[in-house]
Amino acid sequence: MTTLNKVFHLTDAHTTVKRELIAALTTFVSLSYILFVNPNLLHAAGMPKGAAFTVTAIATAIGCFIMGLVANYPVALAPTLGSGAFFAYNVCVGMHIKWQTALAAVLVASILFILITVFKLREKVVDAIPQDLKYAISAGIGLFIAFIGLQNGKLIVNSDSTLVTLGKFNSPAVWITLFGLILTVILMAMQVPGSIFIGMIVTAIFGILIGQIPLPTHIISSAPSIAPTFGQAVIHLKDINTPQLFMVVLTFLLVTFFDTAGTLIGMTEQAGMVDKNGKIPRIGRAFLSDSTAMVEGAVLGTAPLGTSVESSAGIAMGGRTG
């Protein structure tokens, strides 16, 4: 107990080991859906889904350890849906760039991320951004993620005349999506811990009952190998040699910069960590943690890691330390 207090400064944060463990479990359950969603995004980019699943788990675990031990923040680091969707749909599908080359672009952006963090440029930029704009950045990314989700759920489809139109309500996929969406919204409104994860599980069971989702063939299996993705970012660094790919690197840098900055600001405000002058303690360490996590994630083979908004569930349960 004394060692934990010394490492995480529990007394200074007015918290206890029990409260932190409950908060950690809440964040874990709330964030578990990323193990299913992120591999689907990466698979859309052409990456093997099994390897993407294992990499998502390992990269997230390492990122969380870095944030907890270096910055002592109650914030999880995981592949973000905004960056993942941009990686898969904009870069790989839209620009026809191989996922191996896209990973190399993420690695270059991550290294630049570390450099601007070390020179404290991120802190200066964050301090200069108006508070309203910080909220708007997170809202815009959220709308983009919602659009991708509604499209995958067939609630909205392509239209030659209006670009986007409603899907057909005689489609079973639409009814599964509506069931899951309404259930999850109700659970979130009731502030049920792990509402997103619970909504996914119940929706999957609903899909099985109506015959639209096949039953699993195994309950437990060994983790798929990460060999197909591990180190591909390093091997394909030589591919970053055109103006188009340099623009991809720059875009990854900007997207992850504002995505993580906006979310991190929101989480620290919720946790009451922002002082009277609007400054966030240890913000430099937090930025260094997420940029380092981006590097390890790119080397392992996943879309950029960043501050997870699901951390708010753990913070609501009293989490205040790493």
Phi, psi of 77 (to 5 degrees): -110, 125
Provide the domain count of the chain: 1
pLDDT beneath 70: ranges in the chain: 1, 131, 134-135, 137-138, 141-142, 145, 194, 276-278
| 275 within some domain | yes
| 167 within some domain | no
Is the separation of the CB atoms in 240 and 283 below 8 Å? no
| Residue 100 pLDDT | 95
| 147 within some domain | no
| Residue 138 pLDDT | 60
The candidate with the shortest Cα–Cα distance to 196, out of 210, 173, 180, 220, is 180
| Residue 1 pLDDT | 67
State the pTM of this model: 0.80
Is the separation of the CB atoms in 184 and 199 below 8 Å? yes
| 97 within some domain | yes
- What does the pLDDT look like over 130-182, one tens digit per residue? 767 766 766 776 677 678 778 878 888 888 888 888 888 888 889 999 999 99
As a whole number of angstroms, the distance between CA 195 and CA 128 comes to: 35
Q: How many CB atoms lie within 10 A of CB 137?
A: 20
| 16 within some domain | yes
| Residue 48 pLDDT | 95
| Residue 82 pLDDT | 79
Per DSSP, helices labelled H in the chain are 2-8, 17-31, 34-44, 49-66, 81-85, 99-118, 121-128, 131-152, 172-189, 195-209, 232-235, 243-270, 283-300, 311-316
State which residues form the domain around 285: 2-142+237-316
What single string gives the DSSP state of each residue in 195-240? Answer: HHHHHHHHHHHHHHHTTSSPPPS-S--PPPP-TTTTTHHHHGGGG-
As a whole number of angstroms, the distance between CA 249 and CA 244 comes to: 9
| 276 within some domain | yes
Q: Tokens 């990686």, residue?
A: 87
| Residue 79 pLDDT | 93
| 206 within some domain | no
| 189 within some domain | no
